[in-house]
Copies of this chain bind each other. A is one copy, B any other.
Amino acid sequence: MSSSDVVLGPNQYGKAEVRVVRVNRETPVHTLMDLNVSSLLRGDFTDCYRSGDNSRVIATDTQKNTVYAFAKEHGISTPEEFLRLLGRHFTAQDEVAGGRWTAESYPWERIQVPGPEGELRAHEHSFVKSKQEIRTAALTIQDGEEHLLGGFSDLTVLKTTGSEFSGFPRDRYTTLPETQDRIMATDITARWLFAEDAAAETDFDAVYARVKQLVLEQFALVHSLSLQQTLYAAGEAVLGAVPEIEDIRFVMPNNHHYVVDLSRFDLENPNEVFQAGDRPYGLMNASVTRRDAPARPHAWEWLGGFC
Contact = CB atoms under 8 A, between A and B. Distances in A.
A25 B166 contact: no
A25 B254 contact: no
Nearest to A41: B284
Contacts of A288: 6-9
A168 B95 CA distance: 11
A281 B30 contact: no
A302 to B, nearest CB: 6
B225 A274 contact: no
A236 B46 CA distance: 13
Interface stretch (A64-72, A77-85, A143-151, A202-210): A64-72
B69 A265 contact: yes
Given A62-B173, A72-B272, A282-B15, A8 B267 contact: no
A160 B23 contact: yes
Given A158-B127, A216-B111, A236-B3, A168 B273 contact: no
Nearest to A249: B9
A162 B58 CA distance: 22
Contacts of A20: 273-276
A213 to B, nearest CB: 8
A228 to B, nearest CB: 5
A174 B59 contact: yes
A235 to B, nearest CB: 7
B289 A220 contact: no
A34 interface: yes
A6 B240 contact: yes
29 contacts: A10-B307, A13-B228, A13-B282, A15-B282, A17-B280, A19-B275, A21-B275, A22-B274, A23-B183, A23-B272, A36-B279, A40-B283, A52-B224, A52-B226, A57-B226, A58-B171, A65-B173, A68-B260, A68-B262, A72-B267, A111-B219, A126-B158, A126-B162, A127-B157, A127-B158, A128-B156, A128-B216, A131-B132, A302-B307
3 closest A-B pairs by CB: A304-B304, A52-B225, A9-B287
